[in-house]
């Protein structure tokens, strides 16, 4: 398992959920959850493929349009959760359903390819034989860590998550905080989807991209210290958590375990993390 090829492959699988988790960690500290992340990945990949193939957009234009769409989805999530008042879990499951359904209906389930060479550009960069996305993710993680610990924005997020009313009273616009967090999460999901596409051979716009990945992200973030109740967590912690989850996954594959056991194993880890979170929360409240 310590083979350099394996390590590079593991790092690659860590990169995508970790990238999205950088948005998710901010969102969860602010007290909300987003389960539509993987669906947004799929949707953005498929939409960009369709724009390029069927509507003859140039690669950069398609990318910009698609990323704008991801921001829009983030806005919808924020609106449903904060303005209408639906629990973020339900709302984002709903948007996730709709978005992934759209993704499948765009393609009839079949991946769209081939894509022009330039799309694979970022995907084929391999400094030190490790994927470009991994370094991008490290940079974003570093950036978000500083954001959370040393800026006013970070304080605003922690405040919103710990006690929304107190935050409002101190002058923080909690809706704006959550809106930006939702948009950031969706934006990073969109980026992850596009980057996944650019790294796969043939760069297919495949609606199956990211299937069940939202659980990996959620589990990773919670294992990394973010609380379901908001107000706690860190970027570095989330990175470690996501890495841990992916290492367990890879371990299961390498150990030739039944692939269908991955989901239950993941779920079990998630439950243990949640149980720990709940017990810790009860201790603090009591």
Partner 1 sequence: MNTNKIKFLIYKFPEMGILIGVILSFLIFYIADNSMADVSTLVRMATQGTCIGFAAYGMSYLMITGEIDLSSGAVAGLAATVSGMMLDSGYNELISYTSALSVAALVGLLNSFMTLVIGIPSFFGTLGTSFAASGLIIWLLKGRWIYTGDFIPFLDFLFSPSPFFEFPWVFLFYAILIIFGDILIRTSKLGTILKATGGNVLSAKIAGINTNYVKTLCFLFTSINFGFAGILVMGYSGTTDFSIGMDWILWVIAIAIIGGGSLRGGIGSILGTFLGVCLIQVIRMGLINADVQTNAQKIVVGAILIGAATFDSLKIKSKN
Interface positions with partner 1 (CB under 8 A): 80, 84-87, 89-91, 93-102, 104-105, 108-109, 207, 228, 258, 260-261, 263-268, 270-271, 274-275, 278-279, 282
CA distance 273 to 22: 19
CB of 192 to partner 1, least distance (A): 21
Give CA–CA dist 236/257, Å, rounded: 30
- Which residue's CB is nearer to partner 1, number 17 or number 277? 277
Report, in Å, the least distance between residue 145 CB and partner 1: 27
Among residues 90 and 254, whose Cβ is nearest to partner 1? 90
Instruction: Select 174 or 198, whichever has its Cβ closest to partner 1.
Output: 174
Work out how close the CB of 261 gets to partner 1 at its nearest, in angstroms, rounded to a whole number.
6
Name the minimum Å distance from CB 76 to partner 1. Answer: 9
Using the minimum distance from each CB to partner 1, give the nearer residue, 109 or 116: 109
Q: Smaller CB distance to partner 1: residue 14 or 266? A: 266
Q: How far apart are CA 253 and CA 199, in angstroms?
A: 21
Question: What does each C-alpha distance from 254 to 17, 247, 250, 262, 267 come to in angstroms?
Answer: 20, 10, 6, 12, 19
> Which of 101/202 has CB closer to partner 1?
101
In 165-235, the DSSP E strands lie at none
Give dist(CA 250, CA 282) in Å, integer: 34
Long-range contacts of 160-165, Cβ-Cβ distance < 8 Å, separation of 24 or more: 160/30, 160/31, 160/230, 161/28, 161/29, 161/30, 161/31, 161/230, 161/231, 161/232, 162/230, 162/231, 163/231, 164/31
- Give 152 or 283: the residue with its C-beta nearer to partner 1: 283
* DSSP SS3 for 279: helix
Radius of gyration of the chain (CA): 19
User: Measured from the CB of residue 262, what is the shortest distance to partner 1 in angstroms?
Assistant: 10
For residue 108, the minimal CB distance to partner 1 (Å) is 7
CB of 43 to partner 1, least distance (A): 11
Q: Could you tell me the two tokens for 232? A: 């706690």
Which two structure tokens, joined as six digits, stand for 256?
């030739």
């Amino acid at each position: 398992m310590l083979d350099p090829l394996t390590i590079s492959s593991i790092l690659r699988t860590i990169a995508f959920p970790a990238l999205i988790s950088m948005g998710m960690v901010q969102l969860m500290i602010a007290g909300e959850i987003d389960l539509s992340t993987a669906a947004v990945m799929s949707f953005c990949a498929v939409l960009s493929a369709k724009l390029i193939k069927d509507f003859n957009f140039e690669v950069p234009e398609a990318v910009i349009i698609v990323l704008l769409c991801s921001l829009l989805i983030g806005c919808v999530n924020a609106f449903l959760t904060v303005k209408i008042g639906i629990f973020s879990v339900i709302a984002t499951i709903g948007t996730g359903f709709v978005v992934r359904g759209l993704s499948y209906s765009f393609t009839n389930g079949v991946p769209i390819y081939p894509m022009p060479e330039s799309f694979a550009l970022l995907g084929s960069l391999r400094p030190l034989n490790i994927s470009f996305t991994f370094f991008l993710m490290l940079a974003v993680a570093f950036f978000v860590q500083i954001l959370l610990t040393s800026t006013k924005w970070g304080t605003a997020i922690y405040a919103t998550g710990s006690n929304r009313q107190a935050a409002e009273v101190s002058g923080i616009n909690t809706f704006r905080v959550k809106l930006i967090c939702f948009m950031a999460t969706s934006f990073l999901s969109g980026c992850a989807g596009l980057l996944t596409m650019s790294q796969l051979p043939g760069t297919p716009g495949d609606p199956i991209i990211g299937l069940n990945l939202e659980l990996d992200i959620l589990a990773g973030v919670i294992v990394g210290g973010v609380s379901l109740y908001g107000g706690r967590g860190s970027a570095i912690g989330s990175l470690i958590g996501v890495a841990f989850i992916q290492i367990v996954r890879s371990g299961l594959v390498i150990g030739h375990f039944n692939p269908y056991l991955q989901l239950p194993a993941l779920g079990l880890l998630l439950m243990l993390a949640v149980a720990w979170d709940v017990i810790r929360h009860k201790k603090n409240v009591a």
